[in-house]
Amino acid sequence: MSSKSEMIRWSPRVSQQKILLLYEKDAKGIIDEELIDDIAFSFFVRCQDIITVTDASLGRVKCIRCGNLIFHKGKKEEILGCKNCLWETNWGTYLKSYQKKQLHGGGALDVFKNFIVKLPKARTPEEKMILIDQLIHEAHQWTDAKSQGPVFTRPAAVNIIKGKMKEVMLFLDQLSRSKKRKKSHDIWKKKLLTWDNYVKEHEKKEKK
């Protein structure tokens, strides 16, 4: 079983260094098409993997050889066998392959799906740059029945850029930006404040 589990591979998160270089060039008005395409493609395959993993966690595993769907009930010893190409593993092995890798889409699943749909339609480097910029400035959304409006719990960037959550947040704060990339960052900061406010309100209510 272990040799088969080694075949489950996931695309890595993109390094901060690469994003840094992209934004430094972008801020100077340098259009590096190759770098934009490289990062856009890395995000594209990463987003695909996030969708695949999220589906798997909900009971639908995509066969890693042929893409055939295999349904399961979430028991670790349960055998996942593809009827099409005979690839086989068990749920425990599959689960282990993606755990602690920030591959679950959670409350940002639609954000990753959106990128997959839009990137192939982007033609110019600027169109691709806008999609990259939007993607790294997204957040996991959570709706609590008691709170007004959506609460954004954590940055989506953690799923696609290397580093711990605080490091990634700090990284995005410190990226050099041109004027036209400032707005997305400002909106992102506001979104993330909804979580801080939610926690504060919750604490106040508990003290009463």
Residue 41 CB, nearest approach to Zn ion (Å): 25
- Complex with Zn ion: residue 70 or 132, whichever CB lies closer: 70
For residue 193, give Cα distances in angstroms to 26, 154, 186, 197.
Answer: 27, 10, 11, 6
Residue 69 CB, nearest approach to Zn ion (Å): 9
Pairing of strands 79-81, 139-142: unpaired
Contact 123, 131 (CB under 8 A): no
- Which one-letter DSSP state was computed for residue 135? H
Binding flag, residue 65, Zn ion (CB under 5 A): yes
Binding flag, residue 84, Zn ion (CB under 5 A): yes
Torsion of CA 176, 153, 41, 171, to 10 degrees: 30
Residue 57 CB, nearest approach to Zn ion (Å): 19
Residue 68 CB, nearest approach to Zn ion (Å): 4
Report the C-alpha gap between 14 and 16 in whole angstroms: 7
| Piece in contact with Zn ion (CB under 5 A), picked from 13-21, 59-67, 89-97, 184-192 | 59-67
- Residue from 45, 58, 66, 165 in contact with Zn ion (CB under 5 A): 66
Judged by the rule CB under 5 A, the positions of this chain that interact with Zn ion are: 63, 65-66, 68, 82, 84-85, 87
